[in-house]
Structure 1
């Protein structure tokens, strides 16, 4: 059997088994490198940066994607597998190499590399880099999670997402990198799929976009690859990836606005929409630092998963798109009978069972639901009647009430929901029925604003000033761009809302708009 035959066979086996016990997905012995395309690049191949993700006590994923010409057909790469060397050091100068190897960048995955590094020490920083041919990537910092059951004094992490390239600069990501968090939770909307336009509305007056998407609305795999490449070329986003490991989940714009299941917002035949979903799913995996256990299968991606930070917190990463039933009320802010549809789902029965199993068995002080769409049950149009956002949990009254009731009845303590999607900051408490808010809060929710989506914004929109006044569960609202830092100790969970005065220029000034906190064992948030 030839070297190439052995490579093809081992590669098929890895794909079939999802590389569950492999140190590196799609790996190849050093002696087999001669069978691969020789890496000689006219242009720097690591233009999309590096990233790490999904850390564990003994390792993490490290990622890069070779793309010397990101917008060209074939993105400047030969249509053949290419060997990429990687190494992990215990200091920024790589004086001591603690792990190294050679991975494959296959054309089938857009020459992306996902290396699952293992055998490392828990709860400490490491640095990593890649080499292809004569070119070396920048170095990134990763951090393993603490040993299982370890007693921790603190975990400090960032929350970010919703980064429309056209509506603002990524200054917030540069500042996030400077905060040096233990990890980043990205709640989704990493890219936006829409067609670029020359103007966007701003207070009723059109203005030029800050930046312009390359190409039209994206449907095919190559289109999605180019869109990810355009976003990842941003130096500030690259800095945030290189600063800390990320836990990533998707929302809607990685595929199409407000999609759920096999349905899009335009009523496309599901068979056709599933072709688009396949392209979007593959491109998402190619461009995120995900483990091989999330390798795409058709239109599906295993994205709900769990991570533990010693005895301090359990992080439950949810998927609120793939298993959801259609939005009620024609996906409009409204109220209709479908809001109380008995068979409606948001995360689906299997994921809900998995989530509750993890929550009820958790020994951690803090139990985090890291997800995409608001769980607070807000009346969005104060006055006669009630209006809800049909794309949020409030539009799915039965599954929302069921999940919160199970958490309450099981006496799961210190539940914190982290959310994005709204392009605003919110802090509030969760009840089975938010309008009545009877008894003590079951959980609390922090909704984190966008990195750039929505443009500069202001301190608070006029309509949300009225909404906050009419919804006692909502304690805080702000309409600026930025991110959040969550500072977690055995005694308290503090969320610091960091905002920029502008994202339409690169020198936006960062400040802390507010801090809201929870005390362990005491339900309900308070201003810190």
Structure 2
């Protein structure tokens, strides 16, 4: 089980981002320093992609600076290890992130950063502090949360309503990490200062220049990320819980693929979808704690090994897809693909090589729920399912092949986690109900939004035989695009017991009510 810390979470969060103990740390401030000339850190801290021996650390300075990092296994930073400084420059919007390596497993790691003005060696910032726990090398219990969809459909930070409250609710559970399943920002979702609600009250957004229009420039995409970090709930969670990021469409714009046509969208002066996607991807990697993949800088799909009980496989169902179309292709081709042959080959290889009890497949879109590109006219396949309830076609072909491989290779204990559809549900897939039947039964759990409009429910396609075991979504009477104040904001908790290796999945709401849960027994590999 997770060890109890000797200090309280409140104590740590009060010190995170404030002045820390600097004596003897190697990061002490000079005796002469003009306060007004000191650099500062503007958007808190982020940690991410933590495994048994390493993790990412992220900060953003307010000017060109040398940024020194150090880490220790105690809050006092006794015997801290200082690392070579990085340089925060305008080219990266003064954001820097560093991989902390050589860490002990299953250990609380405290890290901090100090910025020194490049033009004034006496201009030294106050230290800023983050914390995370490395993954265990032994079979201790693991707990993490997941959700998706942040600041969508016009619902931003209303401080009078507590801001992004669901982030604060997740933090109370002290998870080992938070898996953000995509739509981490809404670059195509401008905010208004106020929105009149059906109950007669007014939703009041904080609005920044970047959030007052759709993002087109690199700085506007960066501004979407900086907006989310204005929220205290988000900053507090990120100060002590590492975030494992993936992306979907709204990091660029709604339902983007190579077929996206912006010619009639007057909001955009930039009509080139590939240019917008490139700017969005750069901002995404600059402003988050995701690792860089040396073989493909900018790659999102990856595996994080979180000890002997859990491997997390992050899919990228957006970057390599063909155009959104009717989804009825009878043979797999570049036009019908969603993940692409290289990513599929990587996933098969990594699943076979995984020794973890549970293989968590983090998908940014659901398998069996029908999601239309043109929602009003039910046209164009945006996700996997094509809505015909028949044999696998179009994008379903990739997943039929993957599910067949998982069965034939004897890969056990796969669980799919996703978001995207803005409600929460539990789906059980079985060949007994399916048109395509060459696979083993599995579960898919849906959660979100974490802070966005609530929609749904979506229809199910029976190609892979999904069955709804639980659902919480707006009723017909409630309507669609419900504000966060309506109470239908969701996240999930996954707990794997170190002794029994059982996985318990709980679907939660922002008020910390448990809506539904199930406990899964692990199957033994042959």
TM-score interval w.r.t. the shorter chain? Answer: 0.7 to 0.9
1:154 positional shift? 1.4
SS in 2 for 1:167: coil
Asked if the contact 1:483/1:499 (under 8 Å) is kept, the reply is yes
Q: In 2, distance between residues paired with 1:388 and 1:411?
A: 37
Contact 1:314 1:368 in 2 (8 A): yes
Confirm or deny: 8 A CA contact 1:313 1:366 kept in the other structure: yes
Q: Does 2:468 align with 1:481?
A: no
Partner of 1:266: 262
Match of 1:64 in 2: 59
* Preserved contact between residue 376 and residue 429 of structure 1 (Cα < 8 Å): no
| In structure 1, C-alpha distance between the alignment counterparts of 2:361 and 2:489, rounded to whole Å | 22
Aligned to 1:492: 502
- Whether the 8 Å CA contact 1:84–1:104 is kept in 2: the answer is yes
Among candidates 360, 367, 371, match of residue 363 of structure 2: 371
1:319 maps to which residue? 316
Match of 2:144 in 1: 157
**TM-score computed with the length of structure 1 as normaliser:** 0.75
Cα distance in 2, alignment partners of residues 199 and 388 from structure 1: 33
Instruction: Check if 1:131 corresponds to 2:128.
Output: no
The CA deviation string for residues 92-138 of structure 1, in whole angstroms up to 9 with x for no partner, is 23234144442211221111111111122112111111112432244
Distance of aligned partners of 1:224 and 1:56 in 2 relative to their CA distance in 1, 3 Å threshold: same
The CA distance in 2 between the partners of 1:278 and 1:483, in whole Å, is: 30
Residues 129, 379 of structure 1: CA spacing in aligned structure 2 closer, same or farther, 3 A cutoff?
Answer: closer
- Structure 2 match to 1:279: 279
Which segments of 5 or more consecutive residues in structure 2 lack a partner in the other structure?
A: 1-25, 27-32, 116-122, 157-162, 373-377, 387-394, 474-487
Higher fraction of helix: 1
Aligned to 2:443: 444
Number of aligned positions between the proteins: 443
Runs in 1 of length 4+ with deviation above 4 angstroms? 38-44, 198-211, 267-271, 294-297, 377-380, 431-441, 463-468
Q: Which residue of 2 aligns with 1:359?
A: 351
Q: Residues 433, 258 of structure 1: CA spacing in aligned structure 2 closer, same or farther, 3 A cutoff?
A: farther
Say if 1:145 and 1:499 are closer, same or farther in 2 by CA, change over 3 A: same
**Is the aligned partner of 1:85 residue 2:68?**
yes
**Are the counterparts in 1 of residues 192 and 212 from structure 2 also a CA contact under 8 Å?**
no
Alignment of 1:281-296 (within 5 A): 281-293=281-293
Q: Distance in 2 between matches of 1:388 and 1:314?
A: 36
Structure 1 residue matching 2:513: 3-state secondary structure:
strand
Mean CA deviation greater in 345-354 or 388-397: 388-397
Tell me how far 1:355 sits from its aligned partner. Answer: 0.2
Say whether 1:226 aligns with 2:219: no
Q: Secondary structure at the match of 1:345?
A: coil
- Does 1:45 pair with 2:63? no
Contact 2:360–2:414 (CA under 8 A) maintained in structure 1 = yes
Q: Within the alignment, does 1:189 sit opposite 2:186 as a pair?
A: no
The alignment's C-alpha RMSD in Å is: 3.6
Question: 1-side partners of 2:135 and 2:440: how far apart?
Answer: 30
Between the aligned partners of 1:227 and 1:44, the Cα distance in structure 2 is 23
Distance 1:252 1:137, change over 3 A: farther
**Equivalent residue, structure 1, for 2:120:** none
Aligned residues of 1:46 and 1:64 also touching (Cα < 8 A): yes
Question: C-alpha displacement at 1:374, in angstroms?
Answer: 0.3
User: Offset at 1:419?
Assistant: 0.6
Does residue 350 in structure 1 map to residue 342 in structure 2?
Answer: yes
Tell me the distance in 2 between the aligned counterparts of 1:66 and 1:227.
Answer: 17
Deviations 1:423-479 (A, max 9, x none): 111111234696448588432111111111115x7xxx6x569999xx861111113
